[in-house]
Structure 1
C-alpha cells in the first residue's frame, strides 16, 4: 500500500517537473530580467506571447527615476522599416503596448532607454512575440487537464512496469484515452481558437506541437495492442514512455504556428 502511494506521489512530482520545464524553457515564456543602467538596477518584463484584443501585451520597465524609453518593432520576416512606440509611466512602471496582430502573427522588437543623455538597448537579443486568439476556458482547461493526466499516468505506468508493482493494463487503456481526448479532440480545438487552424502538423504542416502529439500516439498505439495481447508489452511500454519523456523535454510551443504576412496581401 505504502509503495503504491509513493509511486503515485513520485509520478505526480515528475509530471509537475516536466510541465514546469516545458513552460519555463518555451519561446512564449515572458522575458523577465534585470539590467544595471546609470547606477540603477532596472527590472523589466517583455511578453513573448500576446492575446489578440487582450491586455497581456504590455512591456514593463520598473524604474524609480525618470527616463525615456521606446520600443522599436517590425512584423516578423517582412523586412519592413521599424515602427516605434514610446513608453508611458503607469502604475509605477514604464509601459508600452504592442499593436495587435492576426493570430499566429509575430512581432520582433527591441527596447531602448535614454537617461541623462545616455542610451542603451535593454534587451541583448531581439524579442519575438506571437499573437494568439482567445481560447474559451471550456476548451483550454480540458485540454490542459487531459494532457497533464496523460503524462501523469505515463510516468506511473512506466514505474509500475519496471518495478513490477501494480497492474498496467487498465491504466494503459485510460492513458490512451487521455491522449486521444486531450491531444486529438481538445488539442485541435485549442489550436483552432488560438491560430485559426485545427491541425498544422503532419501531413499539412510542420507545427512541432501537433507533430509531438502525433509521435506519442504512434508509439502508444502498439503499446496498447501489446498490452491487449499480453505480448512483449513491457518493452513497448518502456519505449512509449521514453518517447513521451523526450517529447515533454522539448520546450512548449517551439516551432509553433507562424503567420506568413505575405499571404495577407496587405499590411
Structure 2
C-alpha cells in the first residue's frame, strides 16, 4: 500500500516504543494488562494463514489482515505521513441498528494534526503521539476496531487465531467425527437462516468443514466492522461483520485463549433488516 521503507522505519519506532511502554503510557489500568496488550499487538503467528495478506484490494479497513497488528499500525502511520490524509477517513461508515457506537475515541484520533504524525520518528515522539490519541484505545481505533457501549480495551485475536479456533474439532474424544467447531455452528445457523445466505447443509463432515471454512474466510476477507465487547456476565467477545451485517464472534481470555462462538445475523429492528444496505 505504501513504500516499504517508510513502513519498516515506522515499525522499528513502534516496536522500540512498545518495549519501553507500560500501563501508564498506554492509559491502561496496570502493567500486566499493558504487557498482555503489547504482546498481542506484536503476535505474529499468521505467516501461513488462509487468505490474502492485504484482502479487499488494499482497502485499509476492509478484511482482517494476516500480519501482526504492530505491522498494521506502522503501515497506517506511514501512510498517514506519506499521503497527508487521515487514515480514519477510509473507515467504512456502517451504522449499526441496535448498537450504540461511542465515537469519542474516533473523534479524538481524527483531531490529531498531521504535523504530529510527521514528526513521529523516535520513541519520545511516539510516546507523545500515543498519549495524544488516548493510549491503547486510540491504537485500537487506528486499527479500525470500533468503540461501542460495553467495548473492552483488548487487542483482537489475529486472523490465524480466529481460523485455528474455528477449525478445532468439535469433539476431541470422538475417533469417528471430524466435524469442526466452526462447521457445527454453521450447520446450526443454516437451519435458522431464512434467505439461504449461509448456504445448504449437506454432504459429508469433510464437505461441511470445507464449506464452513470458505464461509469464515469470506467473512474475514470482507469485514468492515470489528468490535471487542463484554457480554453481560460473560466473556470478552471479538465480533466481525461485513457490510450487510453478517458476521462471526470469538470469545477471548488473555491473549492466547480464543474460542469460536458462532455466526451472527444482521441486526434486526421490528423484524426488518435496517441500516445495512447502502
Say yes or no: TM over 0.5: no
Normalised to the residue count of structure 2, the TM-score between the two structures is 0.29
Q: Over alpha carbons, which structure has the higher Rg?
A: 1
Normalised to the residue count of structure 1, the TM-score between the two structures is 0.30
Q: Which has the higher strand share?
A: 1
